[in-house]
Structure 1
């Protein structure tokens, strides 16, 4: 009998790191469930490219992860379509400056909903299905979780909590489900016009002296989900040897 096709649900999969991870998993033989919020056209275009390589291997789901009821629904739709779930990649995130003196409750809620609450409750919904396949969860953290920047206080807090949640879920779901996090450094600069001087300072404090690539992140994600079978509760930094700013 042929081996069953593994299935991965990737949040925020239409663009940037999420799209790269989804493509890497698909190339490795996974069926991929591509979640998006507002980037439906890009998610559909990515699905079309992947379907051209292997028909029936994708599902696009659109949802605002701040809407609590949509979280178990995403997992149910993924399992309903493919009959199993082997990997959950909590990639979708909110990111914007949050200097301590100006953080508002609304900003705090936006960051915590996207970066912490959604990953937790998606993991909760996915856990029984992942246990059945001896699957894995991967949370996308950030170098700023452990090296906070002064203007990213609330964001860094949300990602630090995500790493703590990773360790807690790894303990709670063992031995059936592995849970790890991946913390990128300078990979892609923000879409909006960035601070060139800040970018220069970041690269000056990166031992390898360059930005990383989305392919390097995606390859590490695949390794943690499929191959790192004796690793759980860990955060792997893919940051080129970054020192604090």
Structure 2
């Protein structure tokens, strides 16, 4: 097992990608702190599934004053050490240049960029002791993003720069590695609910055009979790300050489809 005896905090882990990462961490020998905002039923069910000796639950707004330190304390009180954190909790909301207020933009930055920084800050003394690892969960939108994901995309771009900055500084000064993965389109519970709210049929993800999903499907949370383990495990060695895109096509220099008619039509 690749994470034997390690203790990992996974924020936003009651559902989706975070839940898959927490499950995989335990399968690889780790003990985990499950975190969520208000998903008590889902969080308790996951702790029961993983085992009370392997997981504990902490429900709190990650942006609340003192929340990062309380998460760290939960890990220390339950398991006596801290070897890694996964900054996965994120606010994903649709808004563009016309609909985004500064107050809303600040809220997204608080959740997606400043909260991860605060958790790294709180965990650093303990990660230094264990020569631990930080894994930030970004997004392919960090490179530019969609028109209706302006604050979210900018917040993930800022997280990417933070990863590279701290990945250099903390590795040299504290022997703590900081890396990031940028998932593309992932089939999570939230994605299913959002598309259902937009009027799509439940099987929409089974009939995707190859321009959007060359494999004929989008990514699964378990596939992101499999990649996450490498960065939390000792086998990733001294690698730090790196950002890896997890998508089924290149984000830069993508080849256009041979059939021009397969491209979406431009709207007047």
- Provide TM-score, normalisation by structure 2: 0.83
Residue 127 of structure 1 aligns to a residue whose secondary structure is helix
Post-superposition shift, 1:76?
1.7
Partner of 1:221: 228
Deviates more, 1:89-98 or 1:169-178: 169-178
Does 2:94 match 1:87?
A: no
1:119 is aligned, of 116, 129, 134, to: 116
Aligned CA distance change for structure 1 residues 112 and 4 (closer, same or farther; 3 Å): same
CA distance in 2, matches of 1:31, 1:233: 25
Partner of 2:23: 23
Task: Structure 2 unaligned segments of length 5 or more: list them.
Answer: 253-263
Task: Structure 1 unaligned segments of length 5 or more: list them.
Answer: none
Q: Deviations over 1:146-186 (max 9, x none)?
A: 13111111110000000000011112211411100111111
CA distance in 2, matches of 1:203, 1:68: 45
Residue pair 1:205, 1:243 contacting (<8 A) in 2 also: no
Aligned residues between the structures = 240
Residue 68 of structure 1 aligns to a residue whose secondary structure is coil
RMSD: 2.3
Q: Deviations over 1:52-74 (max 9, x none)?
A: xxx51111111111212111121
Deviation >3 Å, runs of 4+: 198-203, 205-209, 242-245
CA distance in 1, matches of 2:153, 2:251: 16
Partner of 1:193: 195
Aligned CA distance change for structure 1 residues 145 and 234 (closer, same or farther; 3 Å): same
CA distance in 2, matches of 1:71, 1:146: 27
